[in-house]
Chains A and B, each alone.
Chain A
Amino acid sequence: MPDSNSAGSPEVGRPYRARGLWVNLVRLGVIGGFFLLWEIASGRWIEPFLISSPSRVFTSLIDNIQSGTLMEHSWVTFKEIGIGFPLGALSGIATGYLFGRSRTLAEIFEPIIMAIYGIPRTALAPLFIVWLGIGIWSKVGVVFLLTFFLNFFNTYAGMKQMDQEYIDLARLMGASKWKLTFRVIFPAVSPYILLGVKTSIPFAVIGAIVGEFIAATEGIGFFIRLSAGVFKTADVFVGIIVLMFMVIVMNKIADLVERRVLQWQTQTEHVQIQG
């Protein structure tokens, strides 16, 4: 099939690739420079217990991995997010869907939801500790709360802006309720849903950590707070690295899902034949 773009691309492509390489190099340089400066500053200009240093962080990362402490705490936080996040996301999506489908439901509950949304939700975290104890369930609750709203709002926004004509057409073509929901409505709203899921990922981690800061006996948040309390700054950074890693992995998974679900959106640059 003829592809009009391929003809002129080598000439345009090379400087482009060179530029990409250049950008990557500079970025690496900035990161490397930062770590170098950090390493140099530590102990010379600034006390190590305040900022630690890359080499100390690395050593304590290895130590904590070897002793198994890190795995233990990570596993707890992972469980809290692993339960709270999917539950929050799914119920947020389901509620957004229901509100989009039923005007009455939306009219009754929208102000209530908006009022709850107005509360800084992390302020509710201590309550969850009171209700659900200091184990993982109170953190699951906070994670759920933080993810629910973002997913709800995005799904609901998607439902509201969705082209009604698609629904009309599908129903005219005799689509069953199931088919209408899963072959028409959800795909149509999927870009919004995925946006909600992706924006809520860091908030899920925040929820777990905040919960663990307040009251916990294990978890990365607990580990960070404990380490900071005894000025083991390197361990604090180790905890932060684990959290970063969690967010990155979750984002990657979300990206993969997005690419798969939204492949109809990205494949625009193919053949365009007139007529």
Chain B
Amino acid sequence: MKQPAPESGSEPIAAAAHRPATSRNNVVIEVERVSKTFETPRQGKVVALEDITIDVSYGEFVTVVGPSGCGKSTLLRMIAGLTPLSAGKILYQGEPVRGLNTKVGYVPQESKLFPWLTLEENVGFGLDPRRYSRKEREDRTHNFIKLAGLEGFEKHYPSQLSGGMAKRASIIRALVYEPAVILMDEPFGPLDAQTRMILQDELLKIWEQKRQTIVFVTHDLVEAVALADRVAIVTHRPGRIKDILKVPMDRPRNIFEIHRQKGFDEAYGRLWNIFRHELKIRLDQGQSLDSQTLSR
């Protein structure tokens, strides 16, 4: 199960020397010229991601937005060390990611709570008994369950929870052991609009308290702007970072009236402009739009 080291030819020291002197010190993730090529039996080689470069600072909320199938989930998996890179490198806290990156929290697309564990067992799963005493584990689990409004459901199994509740539990399961970075892969994708907004609001509130770094993948432009400090726009095949936008909106934000907040229109407008351009290219190439945007 061991994964090949992401590093290929170049030596880390040599590469570090090439980095610009302006490199920020508070950077937690550095993705440098990363590519990912998949070998598929039907289509041959498929370039999922090409030449991706992005830095993420401590405490930053970065969203990665792009059409379905553009490889944005793959990017998260590579940061987590779940998928090996084809080229380039990823540094986490200055160290190249080799094998599994157990220093990140990961919130998958579906909640993926362990169905055989109760809610509290699920939430406390990542609390290492070597690091936390029994009392600490219980307290932390309880606090986060309270924070997510799931009190009274501690002994319930995931099959007894609604989609929204399971999602909350899935998020606090990644937060509870306080990894420096949380990777979220379209966590609110399958939820209905109201639940989605409520959870976005809760996520922002928790984040404002804890200020863990979040890299959040989504295909929803509004969500991307509403949550983020910066939005990375990934294009469709091959996935490239088209642009990284700063979102100049104040915090705390009101998710429910995000449209009225100062700066939203401007940020959204810029994002949409880029996307419109993208869509136009794809339409001109004669690709069917609906098969790609509706496939999720």
Interface residues of chain A, those whose CB is within 8 Å of chain B, are 163, 165-166, 168-175, 183-184, 187-188, 190, 263-265, 267-268, 270-275
Contacts and interface: CB of A to CB of B under 8 A. Distances in A.
Contacts of B115: 264-265
7 contacts: A172-B80, A172-B82, A174-B102, A190-B116, A265-B159, A267-B159, A275-B164
B275 to A, nearest CB: 29
Interface of B is mostly: loop
Interface of B: 80, 82, 100-102, 104-106, 108, 112, 114-117, 125-126, 128, 156-160, 162, 164-165, 173-174, 177, 194-195, 198
A175 B125 contact: yes
Contacts of B165: 273, 275
Contacts of B125: 170, 173, 175, 183
Contacts of B174: 173
A59 to B, nearest CB: 50
A271 B157 CA distance: 11
A7 B174 CA distance: 39
A165 B76 CA distance: 14
B127 to A, nearest CB: 9
A268 B156 CA distance: 10
A272 B198 CA distance: 18
Given A168-B82, A267-B157, 8 more contacts: A163-B112, A166-B114, A172-B100, A183-B117, A187-B114, A264-B115, A264-B116, A273-B165
Contacts of A271: 156, 160
A173 B177 contact: yes
B126 A274 contact: no
Given A267-B159, A268-B159, A173 B198 contact: no
B160 A184 contact: no
